[in-house]
Copies of this chain bind each other. A is one copy, B any other.
Amino acid sequence: MPDALELISRDAARPPYFLAIDVGGTNLKFGIVDDNGHTLGRCSVRTEQEKGPEDACQRMNQVGRKLAIDCSVDMDDVARVGLATPGTMDVAAGMLLQPHNLPDWWNFPIRDHLESVIGKPVSFANDANAAAYGEYWVGSGAEFRSMVLFTLGTGVGGGIILDGKSVDGEHSHGSECGHMYVDSGPTARMCGCGQAGHLEAYVSAKAVVQRTREALPRNRQSTIADRLEAGEELTPLLVAQEADRDDRLALEIVMETAMYLSLGVVNMMHIIDPDAVILGGAMNFGGHATAVGRRFLERLRRDVRMRAFPALVDVTYIDFATLGGHAGYIGAAGIARSHYQS
């Protein structure tokens, strides 16, 4: 049974509709989205990746059709299906290659298989690129012509929207903004991918935890140390909470994260020069909802101002994403819609 079925008012809902599925290592998120990017209903089920991709495609069909019924949408009015998955992948071929968190799904032609199971054309996209498209379509980037999204989570991903399209790259490796070098000096930090000096090694959730852990021995008076001694787990949320209570070390870690992130943001401003740079993902120290999240954003903007070409600082919008964990399925629906229209 789907978890967390949410039905949203379908007043003003307008066909064609799009069924979108965002595949993660833990959950499959489903949404029925209308032509304006409005969600009629959404739900999620466990991925159960170990059952393999054929089983998952069967469940995508069952859960998707059930969701359409729950939303009072006739499947005949569902024009296309949007499917977002983590990489590695071959977007053009519709193939999963070796996604890290889906080890039992490797080298699987998921687009064509899902098409045959569900009986609808499927648009296939990288999950971070789909999230970028979602924010561009109806989220934080909706007022802009071009946009770069950083997704800050356990790792760091990205998406670039130019001329209304996601920059997927010729080999499905475009917009991997977490894996750009921002440091090649003697103190460069090791990235999860095995290279030193990538942005992800500084601003991912893992990196925030790692930097905090390294700084603790020099900052024993930090309230972070007290909470760890009480048995709590060190997380970016814990750091954010202590920063909100003005713990000096916690604040330093947050501000240092903003400084490192500014290197990546400025690189994308100098390479892509978009209208907007949007920060998605859960590793945002609370975003606009907390004082420390707002200070994080302020510090990022300040550091970008110090580092970017002066002509860009007042004309490049920098803010948090607004769609949260829904960006992926909404963007997958948006990409399906763009394929339907063309």
Question: A172 — which chain B residues lie within 8 A by C-beta?
Answer: 273
Q: Which of A162, A184, A197, A266 has the most C-beta atoms of chain B within 10 angstroms of its own C-beta? A: A184
| Cβ B186 vs Cβ A170 within 8 A | no
* CB of A108 closer than 8 Å to a CB of B: no
How many copies altogether? Answer: 2
Which residues of B are found within 8 Å of A274, using beta-carbon distances?
169-170
Give the complex CA separation of A269 and B197 in angstroms: 16
- The stretch among A3-11, A40-48, A307-315 that forms the contact with chain B is A307-315
Interface size class, chain A: 35 or more
Answer yes or no: A71 CB below 8 A from chain B CBs. Answer: no
* A215 contacts partner chain B, Cβ-Cβ < 8 Å: no
B269 near A267: Cβ-Cβ < 8 Å? no
- With an 8 A cutoff between CB atoms, is A28 at the interface? no
Are the C-beta atoms of B180 and A271 separated by less than 8 Å? yes
Q: Which of B167, B181, B268 contacts A266 (CB 8 A)?
A: B181
Q: Which residues of B contact A193 (CB under 8 A)?
A: 309
Shortest A304–chain B CB gap in Å is: 12
A70 in the interface, Cβ–Cβ < 8 Å? Answer: no
Contact A271:B187 (CB < 8 A) given known A97-B311, A162-B162, A311-B88? no
Known: A176-B270, A185-B186. 13 other contacts (CB 8 A): A145-B170, A158-B271, A163-B165, A171-B312, A172-B273, A173-B270, A175-B273, A181-B263, A181-B267, A182-B182, A182-B184, A183-B197, A195-B307
Write the residues of chain A forming the contact surface with B, with a CB cutoff of 8 angstroms: 88, 97, 145-146, 158, 160, 162-163, 165, 167-177, 179-188, 193, 195, 197, 260, 263, 266-275, 307, 309, 311-312, 315-316
